[in-house]
Structure 1
Amino acid sequence: MELVSSPMCRAALASLLLLVIAPALQASDWDGGLQLESRSFVQHARWPGQTDDHNDLSLAMQLDYLGRWPSQAWSLQATIFGRIDEQDSSRSHADVRELNLRYSGEYLTVNAGIRQLFWGSVEAVHLVDVVNQSDWLESPDGQQKLGQPAISVSHSFEQGTLELFALPYFREREYPDSQGRLRPFIPVDAAQARYESDEGNRHVDYAARASININDLDFALSYFRGTKREPRFDFEYSGVGIQFSGCSLLEPSCSILPSYRPIDPRLVPIYDQMEQYGVELLYTAEQWIFKAEAVHQHSTPQSFWATAAGLEYNLGAVSSSAWDWTLLLEYYRDSRGTLSPGSPQGMAISTLASNGTFRLEQLPELRNLQILSYSPFQDDVFFGGRLALNDTASTEALAGVFIDTQTGAKMSTVKGGRRLGERWRLTLEATAYFDVPVLDPLYNFKQDSYVRLQLTRYF
């Protein structure tokens, strides 16, 4: 029997547990919000099976709870999230983001339950943030995370903290279904996921992180050993169909040779074991903030290193007003690079993503195709800016563009929001993709540029 039967069941059980425990606690704070979301896609769907409806409505709710026992040393924190989507059945999901029991002593803190942790210093791409699984259904950029079962012990000393983790259960990455937008060019069959470890998703992972502050410098060292959060994929299909071009033999480019198309193609995730060493740096000097992250990750099929470095410059008040404008510049480098167009794997992926048909001599490449994990930020620059109006409505915005210095691919993003009265907030997010070549990982979303509008009512 699984530790949890389904995300919806987990969320329901966690809510019931809170209702039972809350009356016994000395101080209890409930919070949360109900959100109506509209996603509008600019272009027609790119991949077979995807819905071509440009507008997608969904309803989401989040419930937050914080309670303390009379001793004040013990506390319980919970966050439960759920969404119902009108088009993508996979995006109708629920998750226990946090359900954590915490003991806080003078020098020692113990946590047990489900947690959300954030490691990192760079604004846009978080290389070292490895504990929680990315929630792709909410955000394919990895900014949203699933709750992670964890037990941890942390010790605070004069200039920092050392924390040790045991992670007894692995959360698989969830993907949109075959009809959903913002999915890989071949649907992912997550139900058939495989693991390098014989223990599967019950493999116990371990992690450690030491964070130190010395005057204006913050830095951290981290280590992780366990199941890799990002899978590689086996390409599988039920059979091969034969088709002819249907052209006239009088045409110069016409061929009487048949072509072959895979039937029911799918990607099966494979989760390998890995080790990762990470470092984070953040240095503040008046209006300047310098930050960097670096990781070295080792696994059986693929080992690599990656770095990210950037700076922020606060221009201060704009035009003698209360507005604050911050300029952002970051650079990312990943040793995995890009797939070679002339390699067998690169040629097979290019063919699948373009027309999906193969010649007879290409079929062995199709049968042996594996898709390793590749970062879209293998040699990229991010330019952007953050604006805060510092008004009573907490109006703020972030805008920027990623530019791949090798392939020329570009991804622009805009995020902003403001309060409407005391209990309402309006949020806008827009993402667009430009000039993306076929072997760039962002090619999956080439025609999925979208605008997302969210209206949240807090209670």
Structure 2
Amino acid sequence: MNKTALIILSLLTTSALAKVRDQGEVTFENRVFERDNNNLTYDDNFALYARAQVEFEEGSVKGVLSAYGRADSKDRERNQYIIEDAYGAYTFGESEDFKIVAGWKLFNWSSLEAFHPADVVNSKNYDGEIENLEKKGELTLEAQYVVGQGTLNLYYWPRVENPVYPSTRSRTGVNFGVPFKDPVWVNGNDAGTNSKWQPQYGVRFNQTVEDLDFSVHFLDHFDRSNPMVGYTFGTQLGAVEVPADPTDFRPHFYRVQEVGGTMTYAYDSALFKLEGSVRFFENEFKTLIPLTTTTFVRDAPEDHSEVAFGYEQVLSFEEIDHEITLIFEVSSIFGVSKDKRRRLGTFQRDALLGMRYNFNDTMGSELFTSIIQDLEYSDERLVNISFTRRLSDNWKYQTGLRVYQAKERGFYGMQIFKGDSYAFLNISRFF
């Protein structure tokens, strides 16, 4: 049996063998990109995606396992098996106020549609919708204490997970010509390491007060949101650094101390959302090049803050029993220059206008459309439209179009995706 078949079969049997609450899905994914007249890239993808989730609960003990796999008919590097959750939890105390969690876990600390400055714990799969990327579970030891209508959580992450980057033949990002190798984790002023065993820490407090939900957190971790990509080592020719190995192309991730939080306030049929973070990096680090006496300096990302605001308004039409949700979001990075802000993220200063039209019919038909406009570079935007509908109790399809617009192709913002617009059709079977 080949690797592709094993990926799909393992997820399906995980769901089938579950003793208690289990669910899963199999999705046939199809993407067709606009032609780029490049024989080295794939203008379409047909993939089989499978996901299974199993939950077991007996008294004070709970176990959760969820994973997904994807097998692509062309791009072998999209063939993946990724653990999302694989943890056990034990609740104790006179009022069951304490809980200990150990294992791989996903964290969802954002409620915004496209901008997520506080949702920074998990590594991501960058072959997807840039505003809502798939995540990888992080090995976690967590202690939780119930406080009022919320919790206080302490986290220890002993290991970092490598992000997943598109292959050099993919149409979902800049083609650098050579694939990324394992990331470099830069801890303080050292030269960095490829070892995934890097301790990280965090604390988070969340609370509900009537119609207000809020949270605050502090993290000492590696920032997976803003990699600096480059060659690990080089030789010095005068004032020019020359890579010793031009195929040794790696993202560099830096340790950062981060303070952030989220807020959601419900008022009548409206929702107000606020999310942000402040990040403090090491200023620089030095590397001693092997076999030479040359020392050179690479700058780390500069300290900065990121804030996003969202507003949602629900409009109901009782005559036809339809419902519209209007969405507005705006996000910005502060504390650095315009050029450096552009290097820190795809959405360095952007706004979203969107609409979700719910037909409220028996098949759950829903139309979603949005535009994300760069507020500093007016020629860059992302237009997204999708339609979702059930075919039966177990089958559903989603089809749509994503259009990237930019003046020229480059390494920042929507420039990365210029010429990579695509249409898609996904057909899912749920179990």
- TM superposition score normalised by structure 1: 0.77
Q: 1:141 aligns with which of 112, 125, 131?
A: 131
Distance 1:188 1:79, change over 3 A: farther
**Could you tell me how far apart the structure 1 residues matched to 2:44 and 2:254 are?**
37
Contact 1:224 1:275 in 2 (8 A): yes
**Could you tell me how far apart the structure 2 residues matched to 1:190 and 1:33 are?**
31
**Could you tell me how far apart the structure 2 residues matched to 1:328 and 1:233 are?**
34
How far residue 37 of structure 1 moved from its aligned partner, in angstroms, is 0.8
**Could you tell me how far apart the structure 1 residues matched to 2:344 and 2:203 are?**
25
**Could you tell me how far apart the structure 1 residues matched to 2:64 and 2:137 are?**
12
Please identify which structure carries the higher strand content. Answer: 2
Contact 1:381 1:402 in 2 (8 A): yes
Over residues 404-451 of structure 1, what are the superposed CA-to-partner deviations in whole Å (9 max), with x where a residue is unaligned?
121111111123312111110101242111134446422111011111
In the other structure, the counterpart of 2:429 is 457
In the other structure, the counterpart of 2:309 is 309
In the other structure, the counterpart of 1:42 is 34
**Could you tell me how far apart the structure 1 residues matched to 2:45 and 2:374 are?**
30
**Could you tell me how far apart the structure 2 residues matched to 1:11 and 1:273 are?**
36
**Could you tell me how far apart the structure 2 residues matched to 1:417 and 1:99 are?**
30
**Could you tell me how far apart the structure 2 residues matched to 1:339 and 1:315 are?**
40
**Could you tell me how far apart the structure 1 residues matched to 2:51 and 2:345 are?**
31
1:283 aligns with 2:244: no
Q: Secondary structure at the match of 2:135?
A: coil
Q: 1:407 aligns with which of 377, 389, 404?
A: 377
In the other structure, the counterpart of 1:245 is none
Q: Percent identity?
A: 21
**Could you tell me how far apart the structure 2 residues matched to 1:37 and 1:180 are?**
15
Q: What are structure 2's unaligned runs of at least 5 residues?
A: 236-243, 283-299
Q: How does 1:242-321 map to 2 (within 5 A)?
A: 267-300=249-282, 301-302=300-301, 303-317=303-317, 320-321=319-320
Q: Secondary structure at the match of 1:339?
A: helix
How far residue 157 of structure 1 moved from its aligned partner, in angstroms, is 2.0
In the other structure, the counterpart of 1:130 is 120
**Could you tell me how far apart the structure 2 residues matched to 1:92 and 1:399 are?**
30
Q: How does 1:180-259 map to 2 (within 5 A)?
A: 180-187=170-177, 189-197=179-187, 200-230=195-225, 231-235=227-231
Task: State the Cα RMSD in Å.
Answer: 3.1
Q: What are structure 1's unaligned runs of at least 5 residues?
A: 1-5, 240-261, 341-370
Structure with higher Rg: it is: 1
How far residue 265 of structure 1 moved from its aligned partner, in angstroms, is 6.4
**Could you tell me how far apart the structure 2 residues matched to 1:10 and 1:32 are?**
14
Q: Secondary structure at the match of 2:251?
A: strand
In the other structure, the counterpart of 2:399 is 428
**Could you tell me how far apart the structure 2 residues matched to 1:447 and 1:87 are?**
20
Q: Which moved more, 1:388-397 or 1:277-286?
A: 388-397
Q: Secondary structure at the match of 2:54?
A: strand
Q: Secondary structure at the match of 2:116?
A: coil
Please identify which structure carries the higher helix content. Answer: 1
**Could you tell me how far apart the structure 2 residues matched to 1:14 and 1:457 are?**
14
How far residue 80 of structure 1 moved from its aligned partner, in angstroms, is 1.7
Q: 2:85 aligns with which of 98, 101, 111?
A: 98
- TM superposition score normalised by structure 2: 0.82
Distance 1:331 1:293, change over 3 A: same
Q: Which moved more, 1:152-161 or 1:227-236?
A: 227-236
- AA of the residue aligned to 1:42: E
Q: Secondary structure at the match of 1:191?
A: coil
Contact 2:15 2:23 in 1 (8 A): no
In the other structure, the counterpart of 2:348 is 378
Contact 1:8 1:95 in 2 (8 A): no
**Could you tell me how far apart the structure 1 residues matched to 2:197 and 2:4 are?**
17
How far residue 396 of structure 1 moved from its aligned partner, in angstroms, is 1.9
Distance 1:161 1:8, change over 3 A: farther
Give aligned pairs, total. Answer: 391
- AA of the residue aligned to 2:230: D
Distance 1:13 1:373, change over 3 A: farther
Distance 1:188 1:164, change over 3 A: farther
